[in-house]
Chain A
């Protein structure tokens, strides 16, 4: 081997070593979401599939305090590439501060076509461009019950719901399972109640104006919604353990009273994600949807309150573009839905994937019927936070309602008009 050959060999070895070192630094996309526990496992399955398909590594962080974590990261100039937010109101704040990247040119036409009109509007977050993709959705206008333990006819009107609750209480049976604990967002289960009552009593147009900050909290309609909820849950014997026990009960634990013998409570106003807990309630003999638990729509039926987890893109990189397109597609949402029938996609093509009658009913509602989005999720963060707190204060002392509504309206008036989202409702 002459000198020149040796030199060439040395250069080749150096180049190979160099390329090896470079390939060790794999392309990575960072993701932040609120999912922990089982939900995190499901979401990681989606991310694993993405990694397998693209070779792009992911770095996932999950926290229930996703808003706080994200705010801190954005403030430090180090946001994740992709964040999955449970509330469009937060996403809107990042759109206004130009932190988010529009997705109009990012998503493939097939992916965009898979969403119905209501979801397409939501994904624009009050703008003309698409800024988010709904990766998981939930139906909120539903009241769960155990068919084997409650044979009452379903209420078709608000008055019938009030009558049912009063009749059960009078019979010494506790109608409502209720839990407000959801730190750091304790109180949201109560806001769902108020929203549902208001939406079904005052209609989508009023609801839209109220969630958009155009209606005072002190108007008779809003006050009536609070009072109706108070009638249902703050009376003696109306809630398992009493309404103050509801303050200390985590929302995830409230429904277990449906399955005790004798039942601790007979009805739970809770979103479709309760399915997974209900199925797990009797671990030895898995609870069967439609037999051990079922739901009826919040009366009167016709319009439904829904919520969504929205994926948004902070850093516009090829890796984050690839991931958000993947998350919005059928494959990812099918993986996330898994085989448990508990997770719902907004994509129309996946509505019939569910196997049991309860899940199919929920999926069809989420992709077909007229929908209105969770108002507290649409409101600016200070209003949302105050709404949560007001619910807790009201449960503790319903007599404070007037003062609470005035406080809430003071906060509403202090928020600039451009910070409110105006999202169509019931269309």
Chain B
């Protein structure tokens, strides 16, 4: 083998190693960042939007039941709508504001504005009911206003319908993000994570090949630069594997959010039926003759009275999302490791290439 030929081979091998190192820099940084960003979106937005929407539904159903219960005796009331109604309505509005900041679904903004408008109309109808229930001669109007408020909440296209649709849309966004990690432009990115393991694996093979070549050509047992580069490459591979294992945590968060939404949905339904049953009793007291076709249809559509829901035991979804978003390894460290690996490769080759360049010059 001529000296010039050896130098060319060395240069080509180094170029190949550096090209793969560059690819490793891009893909490993992308992989670690993608998992981290997805976890942070899940923590800060997706779970907040889904659970916040469930919070709004829970609070509104509780507020409605509290108000109906206050008016249930069918007499004038001194306490008005009651503290529980006021508290729950405030919670609903606060939760709505939280959802407005966190929601991600395409139709979310419009739906939230519709919900906000309907909740304002609902509160207005409740205020009218309250005003009439304070006067003995206008209890019928008070009952009508209570009915109108209930329709705004429960009717087709009403607040609860809108919130259910919004919850479904946000859940779909969360599913897409935690399962696929994609965006509108580049969907299903998380599924491509294993691709990020290819460059470290290829680089390791190339480094071993380079080491063997150095042994054969220059009788070197150990090349420190190559050794350091190999160790750093293993480290980068471990970082990528770690990021991939984080994806499992995101799946767990997703499953937990679904379970929590299902649990809450059942509780909301029970609480809602109890509130609607209370309204039915109140209407039965107030209607002298008939309540009309709408109330009759409402009565016929009511499910049987469920048992009183026990105390809620929420799942630690927020804590899980927080844990999943704890950085496994800073992205910059991965980048630094790759750059150092590249530098080590350059250093490892430098002496040999310089040596051959010198010999060629001497020969000339």
Residues of A within 8 A of B (CB): 20-21, 24, 30, 32, 36-37, 59-73, 179-181, 183-184, 186, 240-242, 244-250, 253-254, 256-257, 264, 389, 392-393, 396-397
Which of B113, B128, B185, B293 is most buried by chain A, counting CB atoms within 10 A of its CB?
B293
B121, A242: Cβ atoms closer than 8 Å: no
Would you call B314 an interface residue if the criterion is a C-beta within 8 Å of the partner chain's C-beta atoms?
A: no
- What's the least CB distance linking A277 to chain B, in Å? 12
Q: Which residues of B contact A65 (CB under 8 A)?
A: 114, 117-118, 120-121, 152
A21 to B184, CA, bound (A): 9
Would you call B141 an interface residue if the criterion is a C-beta within 8 Å of the partner chain's C-beta atoms?
A: yes
Q: Which of B140, B156, B185, B287 contacts A36 (CB 8 A)?
A: B156
Cβ-closest chain A residue relative to B146: A248
Q: Which residues of A contact B156 (CB under 8 A)?
A: 36-37
- What's the least CB distance linking B349 to chain A, in Å? 22
Given contacts A63-B114, A69-B116, contact A257 B293 (CB under 8 A): yes
Would you call B229 an interface residue if the criterion is a C-beta within 8 Å of the partner chain's C-beta atoms?
A: no
Question: Of residues 299 to 313 in B, which have CB atoms within 8 Å of A's CB atoms?
Answer: none
Q: Which residues of A contact B194 (CB under 8 A)?
A: none
Q: Which residues of A contact B155 (CB under 8 A)?
A: 183
- What's the least CB distance linking B150 to chain A, in Å? 9
Q: Which residues of B contact A253 (CB under 8 A)?
A: 292-294, 297
A180 to B151, CA, bound (A): 13
Q: Which of A61, A179, A183 contacts B111 (CB 8 A)?
A: A61
Q: Which residues of A contact B293 (CB under 8 A)?
A: 179, 240, 249-250, 253-254, 256-257, 264
Q: Which of B111, B117, B144 contacts A72 (CB 8 A)?
A: B117
B157, A184: Cβ atoms closer than 8 Å: no
Q: Which of A24, A184, A247 contacts B185 (CB 8 A)?
A: A24
Would you call B124 an interface residue if the criterion is a C-beta within 8 Å of the partner chain's C-beta atoms?
A: yes
Given contacts A248-B143, A248-B144, A248-B283, contact A30 B290 (CB under 8 A): no
- What's the least CB distance linking A178 to chain B, in Å? 9
Chain B's interface: helix, strand, loop or mixed, by majority? helix
A66 to B152, CA, bound (A): 13
B144, A36: Cβ atoms closer than 8 Å: no
- What's the least CB distance linking A51 to chain B, in Å? 14
Chosen A-B contacts, 13 in total, with CB atoms closer than 8 Å, are A21-B185, A59-B110, A69-B118, A72-B120, A183-B148, A184-B124, A240-B290, A241-B292, A244-B140, A248-B147, A248-B291, A248-B294, A256-B293
- What's the least CB distance linking B332 to chain A, in Å? 25
Would you call B288 an interface residue if the criterion is a C-beta within 8 Å of the partner chain's C-beta atoms?
A: yes
* 5 nearest A-B pairs in the assembled complex, by CB-CB distance: A249-B292, A241-B290, A61-B110, A69-B117, A184-B121
Which of B110, B143, B156, B157 is most buried by chain A, counting CB atoms within 10 A of its CB?
B110
- What's the least CB distance linking B96 to chain A, in Å? 12
A266 to B51, CA, bound (A): 50
Cβ-closest chain A residue relative to B293: A253
B140, A247: Cβ atoms closer than 8 Å: yes
Cβ-closest chain A residue relative to B142: A396
Q: Which of A242, A264, A397 contacts B137 (CB 8 A)?
A: A397
Residues of B within 8 A of A (CB): 106-107, 110-111, 113-114, 116-118, 120-121, 124-125, 128, 137-138, 140-141, 143-144, 147-149, 151-152, 155-157, 162, 184-185, 283, 287-295, 297
A181, B151: Cβ atoms closer than 8 Å: yes
Cβ-closest chain A residue relative to B283: A248
Q: Which residues of A contact B106 (CB under 8 A)?
A: 59
A264 to B289, CA, bound (A): 14
Cβ-closest chain A residue relative to B138: A396
Which of B147, B149, B283 is most buried by chain A, counting CB atoms within 10 A of its CB?
B147
Q: Which residues of B contact A247 (CB under 8 A)?
A: 140-141, 144, 147
Given contacts A242-B290, A245-B291, contact A184 B141 (CB under 8 A): no
Cβ-closest chain B residue relative to A40: B157
A408 to B290, CA, bound (A): 30
Q: Which of B283, B288, B294 contacts A179 (CB 8 A)?
A: B294
Q: Which residues of B contact A397 (CB under 8 A)?
A: 137-138
Cβ-closest chain B residue relative to A69: B117
Q: Which residues of B contact A246 (CB under 8 A)?
A: 292
Cβ-closest chain A residue relative to B118: A65
- What's the least CB distance linking B129 to chain A, in Å? 12
Q: Which of A59, A60, A241, A393 contacts B289 (CB 8 A)?
A: A241
A256 to B293, CA, bound (A): 8
A245, B287: Cβ atoms closer than 8 Å: yes
Q: Which residues of A contact B291 (CB under 8 A)?
A: 241, 245, 248
- What's the least CB distance linking B105 to chain A, in Å? 11
A183, B185: Cβ atoms closer than 8 Å: no
Q: Which residues of B contact A183 (CB under 8 A)?
A: 121, 125, 148-149, 151-152, 155
Q: Which residues of B contact A59 (CB under 8 A)?
A: 106-107, 110
Q: Which of A30, A68, A72, A242 contacts B288 (CB 8 A)?
A: A242
- What's the least CB distance linking B331 to chain A, in Å? 22
A253 to B141, CA, bound (A): 19
B125, A184: Cβ atoms closer than 8 Å: yes
- What's the least CB distance linking A237 to chain B, in Å? 10
Q: Which residues of B contact A32 (CB under 8 A)?
A: 110
A248, B287: Cβ atoms closer than 8 Å: yes
- What's the least CB distance linking A195 to chain B, in Å? 22
B117, A63: Cβ atoms closer than 8 Å: yes
A67 to B143, CA, bound (A): 24
B292, A68: Cβ atoms closer than 8 Å: no
Q: Which of B107, B124, B295 contacts A248 (CB 8 A)?
A: B295
Besides the known contacts A32-B110, A72-B113, 16 further A-B residue pairs in the complex with CB atoms under 8 A apart: A20-B185, A61-B114, A62-B114, A68-B121, A181-B144, A183-B121, A184-B124, A241-B289, A245-B292, A247-B147, A248-B144, A248-B287, A248-B292, A249-B293, A392-B144, A396-B138
